[in-house]
Amino acid sequence: MRTLTPRTLCCRIATLTLLPLAASMASAQQMANPESDAASARAQQQQQAERTTRPLSLKIQQEGNIRTPRRGESMGSVQDRFGDPEARQGPVGEPPITRWQYPRFVVVFEDEWVIDTVVEPDSAD
């Protein structure tokens, strides 16, 4: 068994006495100052919001200058306006569904007609 010197004993007693006191003071400070906790929580929420990507619908509204094919447009018209797609998938199923992949969007055709255009999210967002 190890013997304690008066100095070591005094330090241990002080540590054991002051730890609960420090914890209770921190707790009391939090209860006395809830505004700082609320401000801290708001700051954390703001940081999280800045890290979160923008919803695609908001992005489309903000980037209204993205030209895309319109519903009902023909394959020939899409190819004339936007050039050859990077990739083509289909036709698949009945009625035949075809997808054309462009750099910023995907065009979905039923038979020869555009039924939908999906804007691709940027990888930077």
pLDDT at 66: 76
Give domain limits for the chain. 6-51, 56-119
CB 109 within 8 A of CB 98: yes
pLDDT at 105 over 60: yes
Overall pTM > 0.85: no
Compute the distance between CA of residue 115 and CA of residue 125 in angstroms, rounded to an integer. Answer: 27
CB 110 within 8 A of CB 97: yes
Q: Could you tell me which of 48, 68, 60, 52 has the C-alpha nearest to residue 121? A: 60
Q: What is the CA radius of gyration of the chain?
A: 32
Per-residue pLDDT band for 49 (boundaries 50, 70, 90) equals: low
Task: Judge residue 36's burial from the number of C-beta atoms within 10 Å of its C-beta, 0-12 exposed, 13-18 middle, 19 or more buried.
Answer: exposed
Compute the distance between CA of residue 112 and CA of residue 121 in angstroms, rounded to an integer. Answer: 26
Task: Name the residue with higher pLDDT: 35 or 107.
Answer: 107
The per-residue pLDDT for range 57-103, each reduced to its tens digit, is 555 555 566 788 989 999 999 999 999 999 999 899 999 999 999 98
Q: Which residues of 90-111 are buried (b: 16+ CB within 10 A; e: fewer)?
A: eeeeeeebbbbebeebbbbbee
